[in-house]
Structure 1
Amino acid sequence: MFKRILLPTDGSELSLKAIRLGVELAKSCGASVIALHVVPPVQTIAYIAEIMASVQFDYAKEATRFADRYLQDAHAIAEQAAVPFDRLLLFGSQPYEAILQTAKDRDCDLIVMAAHSWEGLARLLMGSETHKVILKSQVPVLICH
């Protein structure tokens, strides 16, 4: 049924739940999985650009460290299930675009991801990467919440 499943993760417990679901599905149909984490850039304000230059370096270093841990968690889940695994770490301002492009570039035929239940102002400010993926994806998206 599916051959390659994309598993975007933000490192949350809900993302781990989606990864477990995606790996189970991959195992049942003999598919491989690709875990993806997208690191958004640190937001800058023009009048503090000099200060932000050093902050951006530290941010990228720390974000990469966290991302490696998130992807290692996904690898451990796939390894325990004996499911072929690949990982990808990207930097980008629009995570949903990176998810969709990865699905296209890696010939994924399913995306399994978490949907957070943000409400009110948080939802308005943060938006929903999952919602954007659902609206624009050319492949099926399985949502875990």
Structure 2
Amino acid sequence: MYKHILLPVDGSDLSLRAADTGIALARQIGARVHALHVVVPLPAVPFLNEIIATSDSEYANSAEEAGARYLAAVRERADAAGVPCQCSLETDPRPHHAILQVAQREGCDLIAMGSHGWRGLDRLLLGSEAQRVILESTVPVLVCR
């Protein structure tokens, strides 16, 4: 069965519920978890470079602080369940790419993540990181809604 479950979190209630599901599963089967938050950098827009340069570091610091809070929440939940938990914070403009890289690097054999279940135009405009992970993952993906 599974021994190491990756829990990507974005701070939403949905991602934390998926983390709870992954932690509960890990507890039942004696697995460990790895919580991950991916910081997406601000996009570089040529005509806004000067404005963005002043706020880019503020954004990065704020995003990293928020990510650390999200990871701490997962660690607290895992500790309460008696499940070993590691955490990492990655920066990547493509969150699904970072999720897949961490899963491979850390030897995770299951990814448990939330999906907002967007449909239609929302899905086209906003995309779905969960869908991208499902399509490109070499390990099973448990999607929670």
Same-fold status (TM-score > 0.5): yes
Deviations 1:50-69 (CA, angstroms, capped at 9, x unpaired) = 11111111100110111011
Q: CA RMSD in A?
A: 0.9
Range that drifts further, 114-123 or 86-95: 114-123
Where do 5+ consecutive residues of structure 1 fail to align?
none
Distance 1:55 1:123 in 2: 29
Q: How does 1:1-16 map to 2 (within 5 A)?
A: 1-16=1-16
How far is the alpha carbon of 1:22 from its aligned partner?
A: 0.2
* Residue number in structure 2 paired with 1:83: 83
Q: How does 1:54-133 map to 2 (within 5 A)?
A: 54-133=54-133
* Letter in structure 2 aligned against 1:32: R
* Letter in structure 2 aligned against 1:141: V
Distance 1:18 1:71 in 2: 13
SS at match of 2:107: coil
How far is the alpha carbon of 1:109 from its aligned partner?
A: 0.5
* Letter in structure 2 aligned against 1:35: A
Distance 1:60 1:144 in 2: 28
TM-score (norm 2): 0.97
The alignment-based identity, stated in percent, is 48
How far is the alpha carbon of 1:117 from its aligned partner?
A: 2.5
* Letter in structure 2 aligned against 1:61: N
* Residue number in structure 2 paired with 1:32: 32
How far is the alpha carbon of 1:119 from its aligned partner?
A: 3.5
Deviations 1:58-91 (CA, angstroms, capped at 9, x unpaired) = 1001101110110011001100001000000000
Count of matched residue positions in the alignment of Structure 1 and Structure 2: 145
* Letter in structure 1 aligned against 2:44: T
SS at match of 1:138: coil
* Residue number in structure 2 paired with 1:20: 20
How far is the alpha carbon of 1:123 from its aligned partner?
A: 1.9
How far is the alpha carbon of 1:48 from its aligned partner?
A: 1.6
* Letter in structure 2 aligned against 1:100: L
Where do 5+ consecutive residues of structure 2 fail to align?
none
How far is the alpha carbon of 1:120 from its aligned partner?
A: 3.9
How far is the alpha carbon of 1:126 from its aligned partner?
A: 1.8
